[in-house]
Amino acid sequence: MPRSRLLPLLTVLGLAGVTGCGDPPPAADVAPVEVVLPGCTLNRDSVAVGTHEFSAAGTGYVVVTGADSTVLAEFAAPTTTPASVTLTASGPLTVTCRAAKDADSGATATLTVNAGN
């Protein structure tokens, strides 16, 4: 094969090999949820019913509540150890991010819990 054709071929083959590298994404029933403060940005829009680790980057306080307003988790950010939360029902969760635990209001984000993977 002429040298002028070999380089593009090797480049394509090399890129094909690189795109397959890395860990597969976690299963939806154990996917970790990361909250970024300020602003209350989540790393995913939804998870499946199951046990999830919630962690936060930035400074503030995070409260996770269910559709019935039950507090499922609350923790200061940044987290050193993720909060393990078992989600048993599908529906929306509200994640509220505050500047401090006793702050009256804060930004919110919605995390949807789906029934299955």
Task: Tell me the per-residue pLDDT of 20-46, one tens digit each, with 9 for 90 and over.
Answer: 578 899 999 999 999 999 999 999 999
Per-residue pLDDT band at 4 (split at 50, 70, 90): low
Task: Dump the DSSP string for 83-108.
Answer: EEEEE-S-EEEEEEEESSTT-S--EE
Q: What is the pLDDT of residues 52-69, one digit of tens each?
A: 999 999 999 999 999 999
C-alpha distances out from residue 94 to 3, 82, 97, Å: 59, 18, 10
Which domains can be identified in the chain, with CATH numbers? 23-114 (2.60.40.420)
The pLDDT value given to residue 82: 96
Helices (H), the chain: 3-19
Residue showing tokens 């919605």: 110
Positive or negative CA dihedral for 110, 41, 23, 80? negative
The pLDDT value given to residue 76: 96
**pTM score:** 0.79
**How many CA atoms lie within 13 Å of 89's alpha carbon, on the beta-carbon side?**
9
Among 113, 97, 115, 99, residue whose Cα is nearest residue 40: 97
Segment (H or E) for 114 = strand 107-114
Q: Percent of the chain at pLDDT above 70? A: 81
